[in-house]
Amino acid sequence: MTSTLRLGQILKGSLSSYTITKQLQDSVYLATNLTGEKSIIKSVHHWRLENERDVLRRFQDRAPGLRPLVDDTERGGDAEEAPTIVLKWFEDDALNASGRRRFTRMMWEYWCWMYAYERVDIKPDNILVNYNPLVEFDPKSTRISTARLADLGNTVPNDSEYARNGFPIGVPIFRSPEAALRLPWGCSTDIWSLGTTLISLIWGLNFHLFKPPVPADHEEYELEILMKHCQYFGPYPLSYKDLANLETQNVLAEAEISKEDKDFLGKMMLLDPRDRLTATELLMDEWFEDPGDDFPSGNRST
């Protein structure tokens, strides 16, 4: 069931009231509170919304890399009324931003806190950013002042049936090999997804390394992605025989990027999930020590 919110409608929350000003997606709205500050309203009858609310209540005070829940709205007695949450508004997403080291560090810090859970939809437009208004006055500062991970509706525990049964999670072009092959997955699948996201952001121009040459509804769409995994980061190691059955194994029959980026990504983009470094180990990598953080996406200087 879709949301029944309308433009101009006022929602009463615990901390403020919110006026709906614009519909952004089917169940996502822009709103302003009593002081004129912008907020994001999500309202829909779906388990993902209530799951996102519950995950944020549990983790947002300990995990600074999450887009926070800022208020709950009061619900009336109408059983048809959709659950509604109020989230912090951000200026942009990572598709249009650089500052890759800054938001990558924030993502690692998020995983270090949520070690018992699994994030299942890592992609550039789920990383939200605010810009630094002082950057034009201070050339040493970065363009990104804040970065947060959004859209936690699919977050599940690592020991859930989704993880154990290899449920196909997230967007296929950002999905890890083990998830694409319907194998059991865990935290290391997020490391692959963020590595794929970083490749897209470093390149810019809406480039996606694993985007197939066929449309998304093509019967070989996901097979083409697996072939690209093998093309760029293969061959699949012999250790994969411990993860995949014979049928799956039978299916598995350089661009301009800086050496430091390539070395860092190489620690994430390992086909065997057991070989990938953890978020804690990656946080200690020398890649984060380089202050050269920003370049216009798609127009990297040489």
Give the pLDDT confidence of 161-175 residue by residue, as tens digits: 988 898 888 889 999
pLDDT for residue 69? 96
CATH number of 10-88: 3.30.200.20
Domain map of the chain by residue range? Answer: 10-88, 92-289
Query: What is the signed CA dihedral for 74, 77, 79, 83, rounded to 10 degrees?
Result: 0
Mean pLDDT score across all residues of the chain = 80
> What pLDDT is recorded for position 284?
87
Percent of the chain with pLDDT over 90: 27
Cα separations in angstroms, 268 against 200, 232, 243, 278, 281: 14, 13, 18, 9, 11
pLDDT confidence of 296, banded at 50, 70, 90?
very low
What would you report as the CA-atom Rg of the chain, rounded to the nearest whole angstrom? 20
Residue 256, pLDDT score: 45
Give per-residue pLDDT as tens, 207-238.
888 999 999 999 999 999 988 888 888 776 66
- Tokens 């121009």 correspond to what residue? 205
Among 61, 58, 57, 82, smallest CA distance to 71 is for 57
pLDDT for the residue numbered 238: 63
Same topology for domains 10-88 and 92-289, yes or no?
A: no
Q: How confident is the model at residue 53 (pLDDT cuts 50, 70, 90)?
A: very high
The predicted pLDDT at position 113 comes to 59
- Total-model pTM: 0.73
pLDDT tens, residue by residue, 113-163: 555 566 667 888 888 888 877 766 666 666 777 888 899 898 888 888 988
Domain 92-289 has CATH 1.25.40.10: no
Q: Tokens representing 295?
A: 């370049």
Could you tell me the CA-to-CA distances from 202 to 9, 75, 119, 168, 301 in Å, in that order? 41, 44, 22, 26, 12
